[in-house]
Amino acid sequence: MTATHVVWFRNDLRITDNRALHAACQDPQAKVIAVYIATPEQWKQHDMAPRQAAFIHQNLQCLVHALAGKNIPLFYHQCTDFTASAKWLVDFCQKNEVTDLFYNRQYELNERRRDDAVTELLAEVCGIHSFDDALLLPPGSVVTGSGEMYKVFTPFRNAFLQRLTHSDVRSLPAPKTRDQACEMSEIKPFDYSQQGLDSVLFPAGEEAALQRLRVFCREHVQDYAQQRDIPAVDGTSVLSPYLAVGVLSPRQCLNRLLAECPDTLEDGESGAFVWLNELVWREFYRHLLVAHPKLCRHKPFIAWTDHVHWSGDIEHLTAWQQGKTGYPIVDAAMRQLNHTGWMHNRLRMIVASFLVKDLLINWRAGERYFMSQLIDGDLAANNGGWQWAASSGTDAAPYFRIFNPTTQGERFDKKGDFIRRWLPELADVPDSDIHHPHQWAMKQCRVLDYPQPLVDHALARKQTLQAFEDAKRRAG
């Protein structure tokens, strides 16, 4: 009997360097089919941004065409949540007499529970083959001498890079065209909120992602260390949306980087190494998610921080969300997020610190809002970043380290080029006053159509320090 292999696509929307797809295609006689199951109700529970859903849909359409070019059909189905998706997949495998199911692992708690349920239901029906595809090294493979997950990034990175040099991280080729009939399925619009997506800023498809990777590694990565914190220049790769939904793999990133900059691992001061360091941070947060599942359940890594008495000021939260805090660098960053679905990494740290440490609003509110807007929304990275800013996570900024939003703006957007791009109401404010626009307006006897600062930073800092010190004392 001819074997029937099913490849279950999730956040791995590519045919090149896809470990599950590659394994499923190793038997040239097997019939290979692909499935994708959309779960809009589950996405709502996870606060998925409408832009990210649109980006997934665009890339799914590209995937259908790429697979059809290899004579591999993709069957699309939409249901409510993970429980329904597991049931549908089991029925699909039984009806189609599937001999083997292939998928790439996901590491979030709900996703792992779904996969465990599918494995249990199909254990006696077909073979189950799962792969660590979304990471350079699998969770649990980089641990301390006592076998525990690292709690500090730098020793994790050192151990990670040492292990990486002895690991097989080659990028796998796309499968060969198969000798089987193939009909292209229609990918209907998701039953999900719609929001505009800039197809010039974020073009869909593997080739677009690979081209962006090539250009960055060839032309820009050398300057990454100097330019990555300057939001007014294109100093970052902007590859995170492609990594988040799996249009690009971390192995492709690593191998392209090493092809263009072969001395990366030996030159710790180079732009290439600094960018590699960001890829390792991505790994660190995902490894943590598996080692500490509570992070998937809105729990802080540092338990005593749960005793902080947060502010419930809804007007302050709304002003922050809308980019109307009266702090130009914060507002420009939030308007970039709201308009594009993406935010520069330095700005993510600044706005997160402002929400938690200046407004004393629960970091979970910021984490949730980011997920609702980000095209590159990723639970591990988003949670890790927010807990870092809130001083509640592993290797986080200590609670007494509080960004001054004004000095951050002066340092990273000195002339206000980025600020003016997103705050046109400040177009007339000169460079020297762009970070203190109301002081300038008062001197000029002018009225700005721009809000006054929500809080006084110096006073807010004192109140936040007291709130954290009280929480630490209450926790004992």
Q: Which residues are annotated as a binding site?
A: 224, 236-240, 275, 278-285, 376-378
Is residue 367 annotated as a catalytic residue, yes or no?
no
Residue 391 DSSP class: T
Binding residue ranges for FAD: 224, 236-240, 275, 278-285, 376-378
Task: Give me the helix-helix angle, 345-353 and 328-340, nearest 10°.
Answer: 120
In whole angstroms, give the CA distance from residue 61 to residue 39: 17
Contact residues for 469 (Cβ-Cβ < 8 A; gap 6+): none
Enumerate the β-bridge partners of residue 75: 35
Which residue of the set 386, 388, 422, 440 is catalytic?
386
Cα–Cα distances (Å) from 11 to 14, 376, 378, in that order, read: 9, 12, 11
CB 363 within 8 A of CB 466: no
Is residue 320 annotated as a catalytic residue, yes or no?
no
Is residue 304 annotated as a catalytic residue, yes or no?
no
Is residue 363 annotated as a catalytic residue, yes or no?
yes
In whole angstroms, give the CA distance from residue 476 to residue 461: 23
Tokens linked to 299 = 């729990």
Q: Side-chain half-sphere of 471: how many Cα atoms within 13 Å?
A: 19
Q: Which residues of 271-308 are buried (b: 16+ CB within 10 A; e: fewer)?
A: bbbbbbbbbbbbbbbbbbbbbbeebbeeebbbebbebb
Is residue 88 annotated as a catalytic residue, yes or no?
no
In whole angstroms, give the CA distance from residue 189 to residue 376: 20
Which residue of the set 110, 260, 345, 410 is catalytic?
345
Which residue of the set 104, 108, 111, 281 is catalytic?
281
DSSP assignment of 14-40 equals -STT-HHHHHHTSSTTSEEEEEEEE-H
Is residue 342 annotated as a catalytic residue, yes or no?
no
Strand arrangement of the beta sheet that strand 31-38 belongs to: 74-78, 31-38, 4-9, 100-104, 127-131
Which residue of the set 8, 363, 388, 440 is catalytic?
363
In whole angstroms, give the CA distance from residue 125 to residue 100: 9
Which residue of the set 110, 304, 310, 338 is catalytic?
310
In whole angstroms, give the CA distance from residue 347 to residue 25: 43
Which residue of the set 278, 304, 338, 410 is catalytic?
278
- Where in the sequence numbering do the catalytic residues fall? 278, 281, 310, 345, 363, 386
